[in-house]
Amino acid sequence: MIDYGMDLDHALRIFRLYCRRLQQDPSSVEAMLLTDNEKLAISKLKDLVKEFAGLLQTEQSAVSIRTA
């Protein structure tokens, strides 16, 4: 894993907080006090989610079909 100056646990906590704020009040996201490393981690995690979102949806559909 590339080191962005934080561990994975910290990056995921920041990303969850970011997503919760985005869901509840998108305008409050701009007011978050984030370090440059946290902003970079959020950006990389957003890219990762976008890249694999379709794959995960396909996987869930395949599991649902197999269990039916």
- 2 inside domain: no
Report the pLDDT value the prediction gives residue 1, as an integer from 0 to 100: 47
Q: Taking CA 62 as the corner, what is the angle to CA 57 and CA 66, rounded to the nearest 5 degrees?
A: 150
Report the pLDDT value the prediction gives residue 9, as an integer from 0 to 100: 93
Domain limits at 31?
Answer: 8-67
- 53 inside domain: yes
Comparing CA positions, the residue from 23, 12, 21 lying closest to residue 48 is 12
- 3 inside domain: no
Report the pLDDT value the prediction gives residue 61, as an integer from 0 to 100: 61
Cα dist from 35 to 5, 6, 15, 40, whole Å:
10, 11, 13, 9
Give the number of other Cβ atoms within 10 Å of residue 56's Cβ: 10
Total tally of structural domains belonging to the chain: 1
Q: What is the chain's pLDDT, residue by residue, as a tens digit (68 residues)? A: 455 568 899 999 999 999 999 999 999 998 899 999 999 999 999 999 999 988 877 766 655 555 65
Report the pLDDT value the prediction gives residue 68, as an integer from 0 to 100: 53
